[in-house]
Amino acid sequence: MISRQLYILATLLIISFQGYSQDSQKKLEEKREKLNKEIAYANKLLNETQSDKNVTLSQLKLLNVKIDKRTELLATLNQEVYHLDNKIEKTESSLFDLNEELINLKRKYSKIAWHAYKYKTAYNKLIFLFSSDNFNQAYQRMRYLDQISSFIRQEAERIKNVEEEKNQILSQLKAEKLEKSRLLDYEQDEILEMEKEQAQKDRLKINLLAKERQLKDSIKDKEKQSQELAKKIQNIISAEIASKKDESGKVYDLTPSEKELSSSFTSNKGKLPWPTESGVISETFGVHKHPVLKKVKTKNNGINILTSKNSEARSVFNGKVVGVTTISNTNIAVIIKHGEFFTVYSNLDKVNVNKGDEVNTNTVIGNIHTNLKGRTELHFEVWKGTAIQNPSYWLSRE
């Protein structure tokens, strides 16, 4: 069954995670909340693309994103349940120890209480004192009676405190077991949702296979635009490098400010802000098997980010616009230089910057195009000189 396979997959993810014991409950809850927001956002984008009644590849990509996030969510829920199991085990152990302590305390208390009862009247106390052989013994007996009284008060207070602690731990244990039950129900609901999404994905693939010719034409068109974009980027970068050559053809070193900018860009690897306010990665860097067509592979020089309608592209770092180039009527690309690094923002239909403009981190550089099928997707690349980089390594994962 699908649910069994998905559950095993999620379980394998949690087992393979070596540092689960170090995650606090708070971090796990924060991660769960973040994943839920990402799933909700992917669903919002899916609803936007479904405004067009025709089945599209974007819908399939978004479903894949949702299923991936849902799998990660299941793994997180498993971690939370495991974490709670450990807490419950420790709480039950503490409760057992407290019960043992209470039994011992009450046993001691009953023995002392019997002695106190024996001498509870003034008459019995006097007999006990006057039956002493000498004054010193009488004094010691008087101290003994005082110590018994004091000890009884202390033990009674101690028993009271242990009882209160026991009741607190019982409440804690009850809350932990309720939370575990809630998480397990939540997990089951997520498995059912994933089953529905998997079935929806299978139906989409079947429908898309019926459009094989359209898909192949779309791939050819994208490849053509990608090649044209790569050529224009290389020309712009080559022109920038050529501008630093002297008469003999030797390339000058970067200026001190360019070196500083390059160093700063490098030090922010993995921390750069996203080029969109929000979004999901619909296609990663590198060569991929086509999600529908067999024996067909596609290559991506950057990453594609699906986002909401009317979204804007933003510069990920301080730099200078060195190119604004048109790939098609609805696909304008902006290239920004950051010392020896370049970032590329493609599939814009309106641009707010011009060649030579200085930009800062998060400067809005243009509007991302939304096609007739409701897809709003930014293509983003990172280059170091003429070498293509994987943008996922540079952008923040938060």
Instruction: Report helix, strand or coil for 216.
Output: helix
Regarding predicted confidence, which is higher, 276 or 64?
276
| pLDDT tens track for 297-310 | 888 999 999 998 89
Is the distance from CB of 66 to CB of 211 less than 8 angstroms? Answer: no
| pLDDT tens track for 213-259 | 777 877 788 888 888 888 888 888 888 777 765 555 555 567 788 88
The mean per-residue pLDDT over the stretch 166-195 comes to: 79
Q: Look up the pTM and report it.
A: 0.65
Q: What burial class does residue 277 get, using C-beta atoms within 10 Å of its C-beta: 0-12 exposed, 13-18 middle, 19+ buried? A: middle
| pLDDT tens track for 366-376 | 999 988 777 89
The CA–CA distances, whole Å, from 308 to 47, 61, 66, 275, 347 equal: 11, 15, 16, 13, 14
| pLDDT tens track for 73-99 | 888 888 888 877 877 777 777 777 777
Which CATH topology does 212-393 take? Glucose Permease (Domain IIA) (2.70.70)
**Block residue for tokens 């400067």:** 363
The mean per-residue pLDDT over the stretch 338-363 comes to: 93
Domain positions in the chain: 1-210, 212-393
Is the distance from CB of 334 to CB of 345 less than 8 angstroms? Answer: yes
| Structure letter (DSSP) for residue 53 | S
